[in-house]
């Protein structure tokens, strides 16, 4: 297709997406009112399926749990691109005073997954009207359980959804980026996330007779202190790592020395060798301290999502394409974070990139961080996600 014809087609598709805004907003608000937690998204999956079927797409359901893949085959052969959105909610009480507030107590879409899904639905419906322009195949991947390890991406990939796929792309709304801006970045952009559970088993007793006990609380305190030295004293300062302890439970009475202490925390890393090193250091420290104080221990170390790595070539392509849609000034550099995202599994299998789409406006209601009980966003960002996906598709398949 000539560049002139491609630009003409894109203009028509973008106009169609602009007209679809009210529908995308309606879909998003319906899902916001009816959120479902990870691995429980049965109603949401059915809602998505019905929309996709109405668009005339080939739809596969119950992939890796509640996952859905819709296939759009162009009139001509070519490459295959996968576009992904997630659709699970979080165990958070919705504190917003809006008409579309969550109707389910203690559950809300506090991370924008309802928006990702609505935008991809809008993309799928619009592109389904332009099959004759497409040289290749588009897979619209609707993924459950992004918020809960081991994550829905892993299970969907294990069922073979990426077989024959050439590239994979994903987008995430960002409440810290102004509407109209898009953030892209190559290399490691989000961290691997691991969970630590440590149980220290001592010997309890009377608070007045500590010499007759093995104090799990004091030993646990030494363990926590020791773990905080891993990053500062064992890891190359030019490499990133985080060890955070978020839970410490021991004892139930002021005059009783507890026999058991439970510690939970998280480890965040980019480099796989550093990930291995931190795990080994944790085991060494816990073993050494508990042994010195004559206690026993158990460690449950859960490896969660891998680090998210954006491939250079596909990131550079996306950066250039987005500059044509949003202007060069509005394409900004994505800042790496120690947060995690199971889209990382897709990028370990196929080349692609994961980018952020700004959703903040002048209204303070759109400034709350993700996972906040008052989280919300400027819904015009839905169209920007769709236009980003369409621009990528046009580059590879038009």
Catalytic residue among 146, 194, 215, 314: 146
**Cα–Cα distance for residue pair 312/185, rounded to 1 Å:** 8
Catalytic residue among 36, 41, 86, 88: 88
Q: What is the DSSP string of 204-269?
A: -EETT-GGGSB-HHHHHHHHHHHHTHHHHHHS-TTS-EEEEEEEEEE-SSTTEE-SEEEEEEEEEE
Is 88 among the catalytic positions? yes
172 annotated as belonging to a binding site for a ligand? yes
**Cα–Cα distance for residue pair 237/226, rounded to 1 Å:** 18
Token pair in block for residue 342:
């199971």
362 annotated as belonging to a binding site for a ligand? no
281 annotated as belonging to a binding site for a ligand? no
279 annotated as belonging to a binding site for a ligand? no
Choose among 104, 150, 265: nearest CA to 197. 265
Burial 118-156 (b: 16+ CB within 10 A, else e): bbbbbbbbbbbebeebbebbbbbbbbbbbbbbebbbbbb
**Cα–Cα distance for residue pair 302/39, rounded to 1 Å:** 18
Helix (H, G, I), strand (E, B) or coil at 332: strand
C-alpha dihedral, 325 to 326 to 329 to 333, nearest 10°: -90
370 annotated as belonging to a binding site for a ligand? no
Rg (CA), the chain: 24
Q: What are phi and psi of 296, to 5 degrees?
A: -110, 165
- Catalytic residue numbers read 88, 146
Q: Which residues are annotated as a binding site for Mn(2+)?
A: 111, 113, 147, 172, 371
Q: Which residues are annotated as a binding site?
A: 111, 113, 147, 172, 371
């Amino acid at each position: 297709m000539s560049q002139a014809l491609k630009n003409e087609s894109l203009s028509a598709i973008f106009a169609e997406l602009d007209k679809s805004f009210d529908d995308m907003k309606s879909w998003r608000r319906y899902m916001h009112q009816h959120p479902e937690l990870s691995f429980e998204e049965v109603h949401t999956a059915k809602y998505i399926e019905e929309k996709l079927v109405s668009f005339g797409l080939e739809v596969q359901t119950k992939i890796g749990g509640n996952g859905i893949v819709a296939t759009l085959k162009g009139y001509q052969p070519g490459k295959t691109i996968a576009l992904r959105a997630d659709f699970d909610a979080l165990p958070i009480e919705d504190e917003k005073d809006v008409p579309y507030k969550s109707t389910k107590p203690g559950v809300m879409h506090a991370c924008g997954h309802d928006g990702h899904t609505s935008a991809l639905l809008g993309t799928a419906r619009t592109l389904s009207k332009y099959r004759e322009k497409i040289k290749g195949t588009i897979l619209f991947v609707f993924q459950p359980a992004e918020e809960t390890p081991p994550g829905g991406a892993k299970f969907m990939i294990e069922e073979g959804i990426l077989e024959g796929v050439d590239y994979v792309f994903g987008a995430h709304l960002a409440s810290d980026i102004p509407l109209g801006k898009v953030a892209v970045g190559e290399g490691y952009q989000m961290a691997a996330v691991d969970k630590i559970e440590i149980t220290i088993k001592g010997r309890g007793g009377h608070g007045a007779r500590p010499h007759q006990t093995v104090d799990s609380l004091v030993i646990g305190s030494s363990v926590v202190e020791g773990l905080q030295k891993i990053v500062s004293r064992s890891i190359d300062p030019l490499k990133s790592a985080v060890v955070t302890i978020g839970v410490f439970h021991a004892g139930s009475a002021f005059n009783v020395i507890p026999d058991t202490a439970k510690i939970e925390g998280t480890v965040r890393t980019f480099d796989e060798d550093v990930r291995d090193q931190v795990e080994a250091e944790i085991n060494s420290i816990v073993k050494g301290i508990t042994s010195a104080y004559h206690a026993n221990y158990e460690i449950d170390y859960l490896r969660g999502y891998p680090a998210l790595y954006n491939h250079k070539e596909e990131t550079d392509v996306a950066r250039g394409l987005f500059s044509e849609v949003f202007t060069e000034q509005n394409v900004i550099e994505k800042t790496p974070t120690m947060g995690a995202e199971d889209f990382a599994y897709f990028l370990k299998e196929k080349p692609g990139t994961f980018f952020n789409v700004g959703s903040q406006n002048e209204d303070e209601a759109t400034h709350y961080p993700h996972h906040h009980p008052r989280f919300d966003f400027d819904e015009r960002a839905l169209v920007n996600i769709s236009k980003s996906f369409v621009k990528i598709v046009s580059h590879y398949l038009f």
